[in-house]
Amino acid sequence: MSAPAPSMFTPAAKAMAEKLGLKMGRANLDEFAATLEELAKVNPNIVAVTSDSRGSGKLGSFGKALPKQLVEVGIAEQNLVGITAGLASCGKKAFCVSPACFLTARSLEQIKNDICYSDVPAVLIGISSGVSYGALGTTHHSLHDLAVLRAINNITIIVPADNFEARQAILAAAKATKPVFVRFGKAAMFSLHKPETKFEVGKAITLRAGGDVAFIATGETVVHALLAAGQLAGRGFNCRVLAMHTVKPLDSEAVLKAGRECRAVITVEEHMVHGGLGEACASALLRADVNVPFRIAGIPDEETVPGAQADIFRHYGISMEGLSETALKLLK
């Protein structure tokens, strides 16, 4: 009998989520797959390209409903991205769906040259990203993807935090005329946004106002920042929470505003501390001469601790409790 999966949230965090009125949604991957199928049913030019990954990408239903719009390339990620580029160059709206760990490492050169340099409007979907695969180990983690893609010209990087952001990201990507990378995890996500929230690529969404600590978070870590802000409110601190769904182009204006208006800034991401959201924000702040106490909550440059996604998050302080502690130390 297998051990039960560890919970991402402690009882205290669950209580805070309830207090904040957060409702559990589904995995962003499920939201992505449903949205893509919905779009593809009315636009026959939309094509999903998979590398034996339709199951992991939740595209089983898509494949059954729209078999002529799904291209299977087998376990061959270089070919996957090259074929995607060719399809996109001939007018297809190609969504290339593969585990983020392989897509952004094995086929990085194809992303750089065939997609970005050739400037075709393809969409790269990195599934089971970050440490979603947890105990499968480092081969299956993508803690480098934001860093490597940030260093490549001509690609938008979106990391949705909840089902709303996931759907909006896919709607935006489907209309994009330039390359886009979207990164999804496997876990069910709390809903953080109201349906009427305005989503704009490259613009952070303020989930909570405040002037003590500003949490600038992306992807599946945003909820933990929001819970930490809730916990810190109980100790008299008003913390700002920015959902930074677009890592590139970065909403520098929101980052600088946070740096100027708040006593400290903490960035949070499911990525190595090198080259991701945190360093992007640090760079924006320094280049504008904004000096503010600053920390990056992420995965440090070490062999990642073995464990499930929840274990890894907790180990590295990406949790309500961990982020509250980081904030309190910074505010001392």
Partner 1 sequence: MTDRELQLKAVRLRKKTLGIICDAGAGHTGGDLSCLDILNALYNRILNVSPETFSDPKRDRYVQSKGHCVEALYAVLADRGFFPEADLQTVCHYRSHYVGHPTRHIPGIEMNTGALGHGLPICIGMALAGKMDSASYRVFTLLGDGELAEGSNWEAALAAAHYKLDNLTAIIDHNTLQITGHTRDVMSNEPLGEKWRAFGWAVKVVNGHDYAALTGALSQPSEPGKPTCVIANTVKGRGVSFMENVAKWHHGVPSEAELKQALAELDAAEAKLKEAK
Which amino acid is it at 44? Answer: P
Dump strand ranges (E) for the chain.
Answer: 23-27, 46-50, 70-72, 93-99, 123-127, 156-158, 180-183, 188-191, 205-208, 213-217, 240-243, 246-248, 264-272, 294-299
111 sits near partner 1 (criterion: CB under 8 A): no
Which one of 71, 176, 292, 330 is in contact with partner 1 (CB under 8 A)? 71
Which amino acid is it at 23? Answer: K
Secondary structure element (H or E) that encloses residue 322, with its range? helix 320-331
State the Cα–Cα distance between residues 332 and 328, nearest whole angstrom.
6
220 sits near partner 1 (criterion: CB under 8 A): no
304 sits near partner 1 (criterion: CB under 8 A): no
258 sits near partner 1 (criterion: CB under 8 A): no
Handedness of CA 58, 250, 161, 186 (dihedral sign): positive
86 sits near partner 1 (criterion: CB under 8 A): yes
Partners of 99 in beta bridges: 127
Which one of 17, 88, 172, 241 is in contact with partner 1 (CB under 8 A)? 88
Q: How far is the CB of 49 from partner 1 (least distance, A)?
A: 8
Both tokens of residue 19? 């207090």
160 sits near partner 1 (criterion: CB under 8 A): no
Which one of 113, 206, 252, 304 is in contact with partner 1 (CB under 8 A)? 113
Helix (H, G, I), strand (E, B) or coil at 86: helix
Binders of partner 1 in range 44-63 (CB under 8 A): 47
Residue closer to partner 1 by CB (options 62, 199) is 62
Choices 79-87, 145-153, 157-165, 205-213; region in contact with partner 1 by CB under 8 A = 79-87
100 close to 159: Cβ distance less than 8 angstroms: no
92 sits near partner 1 (criterion: CB under 8 A): yes
* Burial class of residue 226 in the structure, from the number of CB atoms within 10 Å of its CB (0-12 exposed, 13-18 middle, 19+ buried): buried
State the Cα–Cα distance between residues 234 and 212, nearest whole angstrom.
13
Alpha-helix residue ranges (DSSP H) falling in 134-206: 145-150, 163-175
Choices 3-11, 27-35, 82-90, 175-183; region in contact with partner 1 by CB under 8 A = 82-90
Residue closer to partner 1 by CB (options 92, 295) is 92
73 sits near partner 1 (criterion: CB under 8 A): yes
Return phi, psi of residue 94, to 5°: -95, 125
Choices 89-97, 132-140, 175-183, 220-228; region in contact with partner 1 by CB under 8 A = 89-97
39 sits near partner 1 (criterion: CB under 8 A): no
Residue closer to partner 1 by CB (options 91, 195) is 91
74 sits near partner 1 (criterion: CB under 8 A): yes
Choices 58-66, 69-77, 157-165, 172-180; region in contact with partner 1 by CB under 8 A = 69-77
State the Cα–Cα distance between residues 167 and 147, nearest whole angstrom.
24
Residue closer to partner 1 by CB (options 10, 118) is 118
94 sits near partner 1 (criterion: CB under 8 A): yes
Which residue ranges make up the site for partner 1 (CB under 8 A)?
Answer: 47, 68, 71, 73-74, 76, 78-79, 81-92, 94, 109-110, 113-114, 117-119
